[in-house]
Amino acid sequence: MMRPRKNRRLRFSPDVFYFKPRGIPLQSLEEVALKPDEWEAIRLKYKERLNQTESAQKMRISQSTFQRILSSANQKIAEALVSGKAIRIEEG
């Protein structure tokens, strides 16, 4: 049996929910979806420039969980950039 998922503290709600390559209609693009906790991890690590320990504390999760979330988000963003896919930010 799996452990129940901890509630994560998310302090940011974006105004924009899609990023896509210029000049290509959205309906003809494949999407990569970022979960709210992945978006928050990206924001804390790269925009706020917090280290992994501080970021994990702000989200109220362990450092290893934060690293897994950040790694997943980075992989999705890299896939979208390299493959020309749209990035959709899911609402939480």
Go through the domains of the chain in sequence order and give each one's CATH number: 26-89 (1.10.10)
pTM, to two decimals: 0.81
Query: Nearest CA to 6 among 69, 52, 86, 49?
Result: 69
DSSP 28: G
pLDDT of the residue at 46 = 97
pLDDT of the residue at 92 = 66
Could you give phi then psi for residue 19, rounded to 5 degrees?
Answer: -130, 135
Give dist(CA 4, CA 86) in Å, integer.
31
pLDDT of the residue at 11 = 62
pLDDT of the residue at 66 = 96
Q: Average pLDDT of each block of 10 consecutive residues along the chain (92 residues)? A: 64 75 92 94 96 95 96 98 94 74
Q: Is 23 helix (H, G, I), strand (E, B) or coil?
A: coil
